[in-house]
Amino acid sequence: MTHTIQPSNPETTPAPESTDIPATRPAGAAAAAAAVPAALKRRVPKYSDLAPLMQFKKPEFSKEARLKRASTVWELRDIAKRRTPQAPFDYTDGAAESEITLRRAREAFLDIEFRPGILRNVSSIDLSTDILGKSSRLPVGIAPTGFTRMMQSEGEYAGSQAAEAAGIPYTLSTMGTASIEDVAAAAPNGRNWFQLYLWTDRDRSLELIERAANAGNDTLMVTVDTAVAGARLRDVRNGMTIPPALTLKTVLDASYRPAWWFNFLTHEPLTFASLSRYTGTVADLINSMFDPTLTFEDLDWLRETWKGKLVVKGIQTVDDARKVVDHGADGIVLSNHGGRQLDRAPIPFHLLPEVSKALKADNSNAAIMLDTGIMSGADIIAALALGAGFTLIGRAYLYGLMAGGRAGVDRVLQILEKDMARTMALLGVSKISELTPDHVRILGR
């Protein structure tokens, strides 16, 4: 004979054997009330409970507080946009034509997958590396940028001093708005590099090279992707000139950005590291000064002339990377000029693995550097993993400069350093040399 046992319901109780005692409340409700934890029973809050939560802070509106609240380079860009007139901001922020190259360069860093290792000792992270024979505390330096004091009056002085404090290289542009000698004096203990545009007038170029050497610059970086000026349409629409012109539009723009104009008008007028004072558009200046007839023979001349480290910036193919190394370059910068020259140009981050593989096959120990599109420390770590020996930032540093001068540049470097250290720890590596291509996969490739 089979017996069936029905499961009991814990929320019900058996009916009482005797019906002589009436129930004062439903038995199920009583059990449910008894089951509610004391912590979930409502009560009137006590002041002693509320007091620790009532920590109201006085609002802070100082530059230091504003910069400290920025946790990313993008947030510094937002601050920079609010504080800088449209023409100088767009000169920094914009790129050539439809700005496809810049957009793709930034998307390239987003379209990756990190592959972390686990159970590694990452209690101490070392971000130092060697670049061109000397140590850098971080695997990133400041790229050459033109007209920098136009973005914010501290300009190249802020950049070079922030780099000196961070223990990284700073590169002064031929189109910089502080002289080679003044930058060296402002950051006497920094590692200063000089970026050269070769002019049609070779004597002027030679003069610059000699000045750079005499000022203690140990590296010459020649840019080779500016045979003619790119079509930077934001500058055209803004009527961008050097120096900025006081028109009705710029005066209206200044009405809610008075600090920028006050700094601009009360400091020394813009002058350049390497040419006399100029008035006109950026494109006209490039087209009138720079030499469109450059060949590899000119690179040979530079190699014979310059006795320090020679870097070629603007490499966009594997073949050209090999050629410039064959012609004596100690290093290359994979760069499309931040998307400011040829739109739809190759993306340096995508080109990086091919160039790294090719130079290793040639048994070359030339330094591979990369710029364009870097907006976070994770971007830098991804580039290092895929074969870069070093990286350079241009726009990212300028966003900090426009957001808060020297302090803003310091903040950019702090953000990037924190990003890099955290990313490396989560990848399971404690030093740069441990990064390999196995740590990164480019999605869709």
DSSP for 52-113 reads GG--PPPP--SHHHHHHH--SHHHHHHHHHHHS-HHHHHHHH--STT-HHHHHHHHHHHSEE
pLDDT at 144: 97
Q: For residue 221, give the H/E element and its range.
A: strand 219-223
Confidence category of residue 240, pLDDT binned at 50, 70, 90: confident
pLDDT at 30: 65
Cβ atoms of 311 and 222 closer than 8 Å? yes
Q: How far apart are CA 143 and CA 180, in angstroms?
A: 15
pLDDT at 233: 87
pTM for the structure as a whole = 0.86
Q: Could you tell me where the beta strands, DSSP code E, fall in 173-232?
A: 191-196, 219-223
Q: Where are the alpha helices (DSSP H) in 367-394?
A: 377-385
Q: Cα–Cα distances in Å, from 321 out to 159, 208, 310, 312?
A: 29, 25, 14, 9
Of residues 277, 293, 173, the one with CA closest to residue 228: 293
pLDDT at 198: 82
Encoded tokens for 211: 């000045």
Identify the active-site residue in 327, 337, 350, 439.
Answer: 337
Task: Give me the DSSP letters along 237-286.
Answer: HHT--BSPP--HHHHHHHTT-HHHHHHHHHSPPP--SSS----B-HHHHH
pLDDT at 188: 96
Q: Is 337 a catalytic residue?
A: yes
Confidence category of residue 338, pLDDT binned at 50, 70, 90: very high
Q: How far apart are CA 259 and CA 265, in angstroms?
A: 10
Span 162-172, average pLDDT: 98
Q: For residue 4, give the H/E element and its range.
A: none
Encoded tokens for 142: 């400041």
